[in-house]
Amino acid sequence: MEKEILPEALHKAIEHISKLPGYGEKSAQKFVENLLKLPKGESIDTIRALLDMLNKINPCKECGLLTEHEICNICSDENRDKSIICVVEESFDAFAIEKTGKFKGVYHVLHGRLSPLEGITEKDLNIPSLVKRAEKATEIIIATNPTIEGEATSTYIYNLLKNKDIEISRIAYGLPFGASLENADTFTLSKALEGKRRI
Amino acid sequence: MEKEILPEALHKAIEHISKLPGYGEKSAQKFVENLLKLPKGESIDTIRALLDMLNKINPCKECGLLTEHEICNICSDENRDKSIICVVEESFDAFAIEKTGKFKGVYHVLHGRLSPLEGITEKDLNIPSLVKRAEKATEIIIATNPTIEGEATSTYIYNLLKNKDIEISRIAYGLPFGASLENADTFTLSKALEGKRRI
């Protein structure tokens, strides 16, 4: 939308939002339009919540997980097994795993994945501190996403750590619960067959 | 995502964004995740732009269009023909029409459409001031969206104004049924304006 047609403050807000990954001009416009439609108190509260988040949330100094503290609740929890490290691409991946309640170790957040196409190399990822943390670990579970980039990242980390005395595993590939075999892609089905376990 | 897993400030931000129309928990999560990934300066600037917008933008006292002033640039422009009023559902519909450069009258923003299913009645729309403004008008172009609700709103306004000495027309169907005015391309919008018909 041309600058001269929209009021300046509206134009600027749309411009900022449209720079977020996944947003274009139209979706940014929809976002601010919806925000403006909220009762004034609610919209201000929403912005305050975002500002509060930006001010309070930072990566844990130990594992990189988004937290309000210097060291996250998981790293500072004495009941978590510090010798088992689960490596994830993003904090929300760790939060998703937490939701299962099945993992009692700690995390390591890479803040991304290797992606030559996007120009993301190992230098852009939280890898040096993983190598350091791995010294004290007995087990590393690599839980990067099951994508080309996630696999490449997993292989890179495996090669970095394979000569150390650590058990390194990769989160299992298979059919997602509720999926239909008929519609699964060949790669997933092959992996599901390879990973078969006795019942 | 459970409250106890996410840091409080993160949870609150997601909760607020997920209340926006069109957002769910996952899309709200993606929004804050992307915001947190921006360099700190940029994310703060984004929030400032939103706050600035909320503080500065309000509906024009005359026509309801989003503006930074008490009276919008269009209503206060002496070159615009105040006797021709184009009735739209939302401000962004008017901005889209402005982009065609084909309309030299003024607007009237309803801030919505009649929608019994959503419980939106004529009392929720900016209609009383339209009736008042119509006293001084010679022509009303109803440019509500070409949807069931937009048509119902158009008919309602037509019935309100039909006994006055005003030419009332409906924006032409150059638009596919079910489309949104806001997202229409400039050419289609121009054609729709040119093809307006008396009701």
Looking at residue A64, its pLDDT comes to 96
Q: What are phi and psi of A51, to 5 degrees?
A: -65, -45
State pLDDT tens for residues B40-94.
Answer: 899 999 999 999 999 999 999 999 999 999 999 999 999 999 999 999 999 999 9
Chain A residues whose beta carbon lies within 8 Å of the beta carbon of residue B19 = 38, 42, 46
How many residue pairs bridge chain A and chain B with CB atoms within 8 Å of each other?
146
Q: Which two structure tokens, joined as six digits, stand for A118?
A: 């996007």
Interatomic CA distance for residues B98 and B92, integer angstroms? 10
Tell me the pLDDT band of B175, cut-offs 50, 70 and 90. low
Residues of chain B with CATH 3.40.1360.10: 59-198
Q: Measured between CB atoms, which of A9, A44, A57 is closest to B57?
A: A9
Q: Measured between CB atoms, which of A7, A90, A98 is closest to B68?
A: A7
Q: Measured between CB atoms, which of B16, B95, B98 is closest to A46?
A: B16
How many C-beta atoms surround the C-beta of residue A182 within 10 A? 5
Chain B residues whose beta carbon lies within 8 Å of the beta carbon of residue A2 = 99
Tens-of-pLDDT digits for all 199 residues of chain A? 555 789 999 999 999 999 998 899 999 999 999 999 999 899 999 999 999 999 999 999 999 999 999 999 999 999 999 999 999 999 999 998 888 888 899 999 999 999 988 899 999 999 999 999 999 999 999 999 888 899 899 999 999 999 999 999 988 878 777 777 777 788 777 877 777 777 7
Q: Partners of A115 in the beta sheet?
A: A120
Q: Judge: B50–A13 Cβ closer than 8 Å, yes or no.
A: yes
Q: Judge: B15–A47 Cβ closer than 8 Å, yes or no.
A: no
Best to test chain A binding among B52, B92, B113 (most A CBs inside 10 Å): B92
Whether domain B8-56 has CATH 3.40.50.880: the reply is: no
Looking at residue B184, its pLDDT comes to 78
Mean pLDDT of B128-144: 94
How many C-beta atoms surround the C-beta of residue A80 within 10 A? 16
Residues of chain A with CATH 3.40.1360.10: 71-170
State pLDDT tens for residues A97-136.
Answer: 888 888 899 999 999 999 988 899 999 999 999 999 999 9
Q: How far apart are the first and last CA of chain B?
A: 52
Interatomic CA distance for residues A126 and A132, integer angstroms? 11
Interatomic CA distance for residues B152 and B157, integer angstroms? 9
Is the pLDDT at B2 greater than 80? The verdict is: no
Q: Judge: B5–A57 Cβ closer than 8 Å, yes or no.
A: no
Looking at residue B174, its pLDDT comes to 67
Q: Judge: A13–B183 Cβ closer than 8 Å, yes or no.
A: no
- CATH number attached to the domain at B59-198: 3.40.1360.10
- Kindly state the percentage of chain B with pLDDT values over 70: 93
Residue B88 has, within 13 A of its CA and on its CB side, a CA count of 24
Q: Judge: A42–B19 Cβ closer than 8 Å, yes or no.
A: yes
Scanning B142-185, the segments in alpha helix (DSSP H) are 148-161
Interatomic CA distance for residues A175 and A107, integer angstroms? 24
CA distance A158 to chain B (A): 26
Q: Judge: A92–B33 Cβ closer than 8 Å, yes or no.
A: yes
Tell me, what amino acid is at B89?
E
Q: Which residue of B has its CA nearest to A67?
A: B7
DSSP A124: G
Chain A residues whose beta carbon lies within 8 Å of the beta carbon of residue B67 = 7
Higher pLDDT, B125 or B184: B125
Q: Measured between CB atoms, which of A7, A38, A46 is closest to B66?
A: A7
Is the pLDDT at B176 greater than 70? The verdict is: no
Of the listed ranges A74-83, B148-157, B177-186, the least confidently predicted one is B177-186
Q: Which CATH number fits domain A71-170: 3.90.1280.20, 3.40.50.20, 3.40.800.10, 3.40.1360.10?
A: 3.40.1360.10
Q: Partners of A170 in the beta sheet?
A: A142
Q: Which residue of B has its CA nearest to A39?
A: B54
Mean pLDDT of B149-178: 86
Higher pLDDT, A5 or B186: A5
Q: Enter the ipTM.
A: 0.83
Residues of chain A with CATH 1.10.8.420: 8-56
State pLDDT tens for residues A76-85.
Answer: 999 999 999 9
